[in-house]
Structure 1
């Protein structure tokens, strides 16, 4: 009986479970139609939530310059996938619902309905669950600043022993503060850079390594701001804090860290307590290293050890000198090497002098030229340098005297108007030179600009200027000091320079004789109001940029009738210009970029001599009176990049009116402009003369365009810079000519088409937040590209598409894809999988930057790519570890080239 009962119970359980299973299966079918409607509602709610999150992310990225959180990006990507999959199910659901009968209780195709019911129910649960995870307190945050970053350094000669001595001292636990002192140009900054990078080789030893340039005329606030920016505490209300509050915040951060701070170019004592830097001690293990030109400052800074950076001994000086001159020149004549030895001795072992003069002599191939150089150096200096004013500057003046003509020398001295370490934009500098009348193009405006860039090249070649990148240069502080010394010494030249740049002035300085001043620089100060009207009829250049200007008195310009160059840029607090600016009837160059000006006064029409006007990045919606721009009949350069302007009327796009005014300017040859509609672009393209200008074009918010035919821009023969920004509806950039995609029928035809229509002048391409673009294969028609930046394009899958390129396969060799590319910058491209499917030689490439491109697993590089030049690769360690290489040899070749962003 027991066994019978047991069997009976087991059967009942099985039957019950079978009934439950059938009931659940029936439930999926019966609830099919109800679940479909619920899924549609859930999809709509998830879509709305996704759009809200995207909107918050865009505001954070565009306006606050924050970086979206990975969890937010992951949620958005999953939401996109769910919405697409759910939409597909709901589209298919009506067919399944038709198979139901008896009010949905039965089915004519139970197997199909059951499968569909399960999918709908599962998707509904997934959508509802994902929607519940889409509530974020914050969607973005500031990008973390890497605490240790390597600095670029050049190959050095003769600093090895000093470096070893300094490093051994820093290794000692009892030494916390080290001062490096020596004359200008002796190599202190280079030595400090090597020490900095040595610390970076052991990133786990210190929590943070901070490099700060102090320079003459420093103020504590700048040092505090630089430190805060470096360690990532400069956000929020930082700028509103008092110096004492900033010092407290810095102290709280650093006191729990083992830090290294390197201060370059100290002229006076820096009070560490006022800055907020804890005193480095044996207990906290932190280090402070600084450079200065005075041993007195070492004492004031209470350095535990003082190290003199001396001039090079004779054998090392000769080694450096011959390296910079080059063996070809030294061996060009049997006598030159011996003369070169003599000239090197005259440099007294000063590295800056050795490098400067060696480069000046690198192309001198006659004995007479070398003998002359030796005699000039002997007359102006001795073999030692006890004083910069008497010895070093006259020595460096030889390089100045060796410049080809007075025009080049004048242009060099003009650069000293910019503050120390200032990054000078080449195009702006040429604008100022044109305004001053330095450049003589014989009426040819294009020739004058080319002449200006030729002079910049000459000064770079002479090592009197330093190149930062293709667009910016800087002046070494010793060369700048020498230039200012020259303007004071050469009284017969009547330079009349007055330079107090970066001195933190809050008002106009007191000047005894305004009438003697011809060029004045008060840039990078804290001047707010210009009230007094200085009497300076001979003033030709006035730099007031990078101040805190709010008010300019109407009479301020009253006695400046000879002013030719006025730079008011980067004064965001100034909202209007005084009508008295009309007094500047001699003005030829006016820079108002990055100011808060809301409306340009009609009185500007009186400035009939204007040749260069810069209105880039003015206050959004700035009103420009009609016929104002066209009134500048002599205008050669007009810069309106990033300027959201209104030409006297309330319309969405003012491009048509602007083009009509530009047509009146017969001398215009450089135009930078932002265009916000396809119609505006068409208006520009339809004006043949405008297309012949040197053009910098930004296409932004092209809401009315899903496609852009890149060859429609081919008439812009001098297009240098192309920026596609926030064109979120743009899906395709095509290469279509004559109503068809370019397809080469023969190699000859291909060459003719591309050589005629590709962008020979295009150097810089930036593509930002064009969310629908999947590739930028069109870059093949720009063979001379130097710089490519792609940022925040959420659907970008590849840079060059193999299928599209195959349509013009015969062109690849002709165009030398990326043959001149120097910089490739890729950031926030979540779908990017490929740059190019094969390897490329990259003969000119200097740097590849990759950040937040998780699917990019391979770079178009192999061992041969590294032979021509050293390529720097920057990215996160996690990304680098997952990179796939052609072989182990390629990985080993590029391993030293990688710099971590962590």
Structure 2
């Protein structure tokens, strides 16, 4: 029998390959969505333009398909093995259907009247960094597109000087390919940069192709594996951006002139394409004078148009030589300039800057330098130059960058950590507005390579930096490069495994040394001997096993970063490091806190999230009176008596033993600074995968036995006033949630609440004739997840027949998920529907005694309206007989998922009438999905209008194995 099943299995499609293909397309779709989101946000911020409804629907559809894929991917993983061959066949059919849907979304063919293109065009007219829509640009775009569609052209080169817009043009092609079905979404973008190695480039391409190398260190075998992966694609486009020298595509594993393949390359040098024998070479020229002036005014975003100002602008624009980067950067630096005198002064300063730098390599650099000088604020200049310490084309997290600004003391000192973070965001926003930093859709930042080149040029003098980041170095720079007057050295993201014995750079003024993300294992003890001025040492993400004892003598050290040093087992004494403010030891293998840590009385930030740490000596935390940021692992008992004495504490990650300790912590904060962010576990946490520890949440998790109290405890349970996320998991929650935590009545910031496996909980709130609560419970709650609550009878428990719900309760709720709540018989009554007017998603799954979704408590059979409902899912509800008595009016409904509700005789969805009197489905409705075995039930449904079923039939999808069925879906953790 097993052999038979194996033979059958061999006949079915490769499910894993289909999943990978779909995942890649979804990643492409996500990239496109992120791009659209970013552009729309930029426009909305500047002009107040709102998104069109069709675009909102497209964005929602992208999110929905992503969620569906996550569920199917789990099912694929669970169906491995030949015994699941028939299940896998059903999954294969689902994957095919989803792939078609994703392709449709990429093509945007379902948008009426080309609405997406209209939005893009309106955006391009407003974006500060938009592509120059000049005649030459459009001609280049048309030439590239013609070549891509030409079967005889396999390779295209785009060249031009730095800052002329090569990458902008390539990105435009990249985005346009997503709309084109020719290449089925097999479009890959790889940034090469000036310094690259074959193995690194192979790794980047492999990530794009979603493959893992079977032979990690053999470039030849890796190339063969990449070649085979490309050959499996019928048609594909590979875009290599920012190529500086000839690349041997065969050594990389890129097919040469393979039918259906296209290689697009951007470079500053035409010579690169000649050597690589590109079949089509296109030069990107600078803008014409009028196009340059238009781009300048668009970026400046100013109504100041006096004739004299226009004359000055023309001179300034002429000096930019038609380079878009120079125009955008210069205009960005001039935003907010008012009055003719300031314009004249700016023009003179620019002229002087260009005269001084006339010997610079590229004409644009003096203009970029002038934009830097116009910052004037020393804080902005220091923070800008610090960004050059990162590798070329590196995406930098805002949070990480701001943390560095704080630890490096590049900004003004503020009294609180939150105030310093706000200052950091303000500085970054100013640098983005000045066009000296670029921001992507996720908020991450990067420097254009020319702007980085300008910044590094500045730091060759004062301040003096040595920057060799991301250059694949295997050894430290030569001794002569370690000048005595160096201020900062960045060697991050290299391949340095060891520092040779006897190495001891003479850098007495060096303040910052960054060696993070190197496979570094050993540092000789003499290495730090002549670095007596060192203030910041970053060894994060290295393979260091032990630190040299000489670190103990760096008495001016203020920041020591050892994050994710997962081989680090020992740290020398820190007793003499009295100036230390920041100590990061997360994910290290240390079992004991470093010796002398109690002496670090100036410490502001301490992170000890190490899974092997055994204890924190009594009295240690009490002595760290200036702590603002404290992170401790969940497996350690926190000494609450010490934590509650920390007056300056503003960020806290830890586990507390009991709700009594939580009450003590909350009470102590009333006399000190408020906790801006916290991630606190009460009780034990068995599933640490619930959420990432970002350090930015206001999150409280009650785990197993978290609500247990002794017989002597009489205090009521307390919650922080500013709590945002709340989770209960087998904590012992009983009776009524609001009775257990009365302060929820005034929790105005609570956004998400999840309650899981609480066997004693009966309801969320009790309704009485005279409400005891003076506040409005759950007034800001956006998401409520209820999972495996065996005794939950409902959201509400009535103590009086006509008890009202306080106005505003649940008024912000967008998502309500109810899973495996076996005693619930209704979700909420018709009389309270108006409280749920913002509900967008309603999931009711595996509730054995559910009888009616919306109870007709008034016995009127009146219609109900849920004006924002988009997703409606009912699954495995064997006792349910009715959704609601009247019609359910949901004009915004997009997806309906049904399964296991065979006792429902009538589906109450309201169908509107068109102007011609014809019946229509709700305008936003996309799918009505159910299992294939529900087909007979669907056919038997009664409809108030004889044509209703025909109107809806084209939206109905019957699935074999739950693409839309969420009966096996897991709760949404946050």
TM-score (norm 2): 0.61
Q: Distance in 2 between matches of 1:332 and 1:777?
A: 61
Aligned pair 1:375/2:342, yes or no?
Answer: no
Contact kept in structure 1, 2:572 and 2:595, CA below 8 Å? no
Q: Distance in 2 between matches of 1:395 and 1:686?
A: 56
2:452 to 469, 477, 480: 480
Q: Secondary structure at the match of 1:551?
A: coil
Matched with 2:550 is 580
2:494 to 505, 525, 528: 525
Aligned pair 1:810/2:782, yes or no?
Answer: no
Q: Secondary structure at the match of 1:556?
A: helix
Shift of 1:682: 5.7
Q: Distance in 1 between matches of 2:718 and 2:138?
A: 54
Q: Distance in 2 between matches of 1:423 and 1:732?
A: 44
Matched with 2:283 is 308
Aligned pair 1:399/2:404, yes or no?
Answer: no
Unaligned runs of 5+ residues in structure 1 are: 1-64, 76-131, 744-752, 819-823, 842-847, 867-872, 874-883, 893-900
Shift of 1:684: 4.7
Change (3 A) 1:641 1:478: farther
1:426 to 398, 403, 420: 398
Shift of 1:616: 3.3
1:548 to 519, 533, 538: 519
Q: Distance in 2 between matches of 1:306 and 1:777?
A: 67
Contact kept in structure 1, 2:559 and 2:583, CA below 8 Å? yes
Matched with 1:606 is 576
Cα deviations across residues 273-318 of structure 1 (Å, max 9, x unaligned)? Answer: 111111025xx12100011112222222221121111222122222
Shift of 1:394: 1.0
Aligned pair 1:558/2:510, yes or no?
Answer: no
Aligned pair 1:704/2:677, yes or no?
Answer: no
Shift of 1:634: 1.4
Cα deviations across residues 92-111 of structure 1 (Å, max 9, x unaligned)? Answer: xxxxxxxxxxxxxxxxxxxx
Deviates further, 529-538 or 441-450: 441-450
1:438 to 410, 416, 419: 410
Shift of 1:246: 0.9
Change (3 A) 1:251 1:335: same
2:219 to 230, 240, 243: 243
Aligned pair 1:179/2:157, yes or no?
Answer: yes
Shift of 1:602: 5.3
Q: Distance in 2 between matches of 1:250 and 1:205?
A: 18
Change (3 A) 1:679 1:731: closer
1:295 to 239, 248, 270: 270
Q: Secondary structure at the match of 1:502?
A: coil
Shift of 1:569: 1.5
Q: Secondary structure at the match of 2:297?
A: helix
Q: Distance in 2 between matches of 1:582 and 1:285?
A: 61
Q: Distance in 1 between matches of 2:251 and 2:602?
A: 52
Matched with 1:201 is 179
Contact kept in structure 2, 1:780 and 1:815, CA below 8 Å? no
Q: Distance in 2 between matches of 1:300 and 1:830?
A: 62
Contact kept in structure 2, 1:184 and 1:293, CA below 8 Å? yes
Matched with 1:14 is none
Matched with 1:537 is 508
Change (3 A) 1:517 1:707: same
Matched with 1:593 is 563
Cα deviations across residues 506-539 of structure 1 (Å, max 9, x unaligned)? Answer: 1212130442322111111111123423222211
Change (3 A) 1:831 1:319: farther
Shift of 1:728: 5.4
Contact kept in structure 1, 2:488 and 2:513, CA below 8 Å? yes
Change (3 A) 1:161 1:373: farther
Contact kept in structure 2, 1:615 and 1:643, CA below 8 Å? no
RMSD: 5.4
Matched with 1:365 is 338
Contact kept in structure 2, 1:642 and 1:673, CA below 8 Å? no
Deviates further, 198-207 or 503-512: 198-207
Contact kept in structure 1, 2:518 and 2:541, CA below 8 Å? yes
Aligned pair 1:462/2:467, yes or no?
Answer: no
Change (3 A) 1:434 1:740: closer
Q: Distance in 2 between matches of 1:692 and 1:472?
A: 28
Q: Secondary structure at the match of 1:606?
A: coil
Aligned pair 1:729/2:730, yes or no?
Answer: yes
Q: Distance in 1 between matches of 2:889 and 2:190?
A: 35
Change (3 A) 1:74 1:212: closer
Shift of 1:625: 2.2
Matched with 2:748 is 758
Q: Distance in 2 between matches of 1:642 and 1:839?
A: 48
Q: Distance in 2 between matches of 1:370 and 1:733?
A: 69
Contact kept in structure 2, 1:182 and 1:293, CA below 8 Å? yes
Change (3 A) 1:729 1:454: same
Shift of 1:347: 2.5
Q: Distance in 1 between matches of 2:343 and 2:607?
A: 45
1:647 to 599, 610, 615: 615
Aligned pair 1:262/2:239, yes or no?
Answer: yes
Cα deviations across residues 221-276 of structure 1 (Å, max 9, x unaligned)? Answer: 121112212222126x55x3422221111112213423211011111222111111
1:506 to 449, 474, 482: 474
Change (3 A) 1:135 1:657: farther
Contact kept in structure 2, 1:418 and 1:523, CA below 8 Å? yes
Unaligned runs of 5+ residues in structure 2 are: 1-69, 108-115, 125-130, 619-631, 687-701, 710-715, 766-775, 816-838, 854-863, 877-887, 896-908, 912-920, 927-962, 964-974
Aligned pair 1:212/2:209, yes or no?
Answer: no
Change (3 A) 1:683 1:67: farther
Shift of 1:812: 5.9
Q: Distance in 2 between matches of 1:522 and 1:425?
A: 18
**Larger helix fraction of residues:** 1
Structure 2 counterparts to residues 671-820 of structure 1, below 5 A: 671-673=652-654, 684-685=665-666, 687-688=668-669, 692-697=674-679, 699=681, 700-701=685-686, 703-705=703-705, 714-715=719-720, 717=722, 729=730, 739=740, 754=746, 757-759=747-749, 810-811=807-808
Q: Distance in 1 between matches of 2:208 and 2:521?
A: 29
Change (3 A) 1:530 1:201: same
Q: Secondary structure at the match of 1:189?
A: helix
Contact kept in structure 2, 1:347 and 1:395, CA below 8 Å? yes
Cα deviations across residues 297-351 of structure 1 (Å, max 9, x unaligned)? Answer: 222222112111122212222222222222xx22476754454444333332211
Q: Secondary structure at the match of 2:560?
A: strand
Change (3 A) 1:354 1:706: same
Q: Distance in 2 between matches of 1:133 and 1:198?
A: 40
Deviates further, 171-180 or 352-361: 352-361
Shift of 1:733: 12
Q: Distance in 2 between matches of 1:465 and 1:739?
A: 49
Shift of 1:501: 0.6
Shift of 1:483: 0.7
Q: Distance in 1 between matches of 2:464 and 2:382?
A: 13
